[in-house]
Amino acid sequence: MKKLTVRDVDVRGKRVLVRVDFNVPVDTAGMITDDTRIEAAMPTIRYLAGSGAKVVLVSHRGRPKGKVNEKDRLNPVAVRLGEFLGRQVPKLADCIGPEVEAVVNRMQPGDIVLLENVRFHPEEEKNDPVFAQKLAGLADLFVNDAFGAAHRSHASTVGVAAYIPAVAGLLLAQEITVMGQALTRPAKPFFAVLGGAKVADKIGVIENLISKTDSLLIGGGMANTFLFAQGKEVGKSLCEKDKADQARIVLKKAREAGVELLLPVDVVVATEPKVGATAKVVPVDAIPEDQMALDIGPESSRLFAEALAKARTVIWNGPMGAFELPPFDQGTLAIAQAVAAVNGVSIVGGGDSMVAVKKAGLTAKITHVSTGGGASLKFLEGCELPGVAVLQDKVLKGLK
């Protein structure tokens, strides 16, 4: 990790603006259904409060598009934070303004407050400098611990760093370190499992990983495009037929690089993606024209698991099918079990994969479960994340 972290600076008595990722799902009753991202931020929050900092938390939730949306308020988050910390965490009515400033200025070392959803202001996603300066004015130091938003050039992830010193939180540092080592110095063999709906979303990731991995395993809806590119009929399956040429190029590059690229050999099909739908298993070259491939089949699961058993480093990003709709969850759960059984480093790249691992009860058996979906993809693609780039380098020590 080449960036300064909270452990490299003196935070005692300082007002510290901490960008966290509390974009958590909330049900119709206002209850949080998955608090993984809140729990992941606890080490940084506890470290700062325990070191005598005045901790000001800022986050987004949902996509309110610059307007106040009651369902996207952070009230449930404040409640869950209090449960984790064993004390009440005040949630302020806004994230900027005189009332917010007054509360922050009254804070004592060790105090923690939560600002209201930063995306209630349109200036946030525009990275408006005036808005960023108002946020920065609440603090002496900025800590970015929101890996899940680090690929966004927003005021609360990038803009504030122009006005106050900026360092990494413990979670963000862990994310960058673990995944960075996997990409640059992996224990071999190094395998990657990619799933999800579209090739277009991950073509950059695939092309970057071809030069780094020993084997690529591709499932989910995106596998249909590769099967189609090989001349197979895919029925009514999700398939980006306009990306077939790109898929052929990827297949050719993999062959030339000596990288094994595994695709499903059988799939689970049905007439529609629906819970309890009548499903059957067919070979990939026998998908009925009125059916959809909605999961990898048992033979594919076995083939993928046998391959992963050889790995010493594995990265998994994306489900093998419509895993949120039983009976189309079996392939994804099988991959979760195979990744958890890897004798080496296992990394799960956020989003649906994170949910699948948690559903399978295997989180504790994974080396690192990333909290960032889109950010993980951009990182695996080899892109510099704006929210990381603005943080101070370790050579620039001596913050006051």
Q: Is 374 marked active-site? A: yes
Give the C-alpha distances (Å, rounded to integers) separating 169 from 6, 55, 194.
Answer: 6, 12, 28
Q: Choose the catalytic residue: 351, 372, 373, 387.
A: 351
The dihedral formed by the CA atoms of 22, 363, 297 and 252, expressed in degrees to the nearest 10: 70
**Residues in the chain, overall count:** 400
* Helical residues (DSSP H) of 15-157, grouped into ranges: 36-50, 75-85, 98-105, 122-125, 129-136
Q: Is 50 marked active-site? A: no
Q: Choose the catalytic residue: 198, 253, 302, 365.
A: 198
Q: Is 312 marked active-site? A: no
Query: Are residues 37 and 78 in contact, defined by beta-carbon separation less than 8 angstroms?
Result: no
The residues, any chain, with a CB within 8 Å of residue 378's CB and separated by 6 or more, are 151, 385
Q: Choose the catalytic residue: 66, 344, 374, 382.
A: 374
Q: Is 37 marked active-site? A: yes
* Greatest distance between any 2 Cα atoms in the chain: 69
Strands of the sheet with 54-58, listed across from one edge: 112-114, 54-58, 15-19, 141-144, 166-168
Q: Choose the catalytic residue: 37, 61, 80, 134.
A: 37
**Residue burial 238-272, b: 16+ Cβ < 10 Å; e: rest:** bbbeebbebbeebeeebeeeebebbbbebbbbbee
Comparing CA positions, the residue from 294, 203, 307, 288 lying closest to residue 251 is: 203
**Paired residues of 266 in beta bridges:** 283
> Which residue's structure tokens are 């673990």?
178
**Could you give the residue numbers annotated as active site?**
37, 198, 351, 374
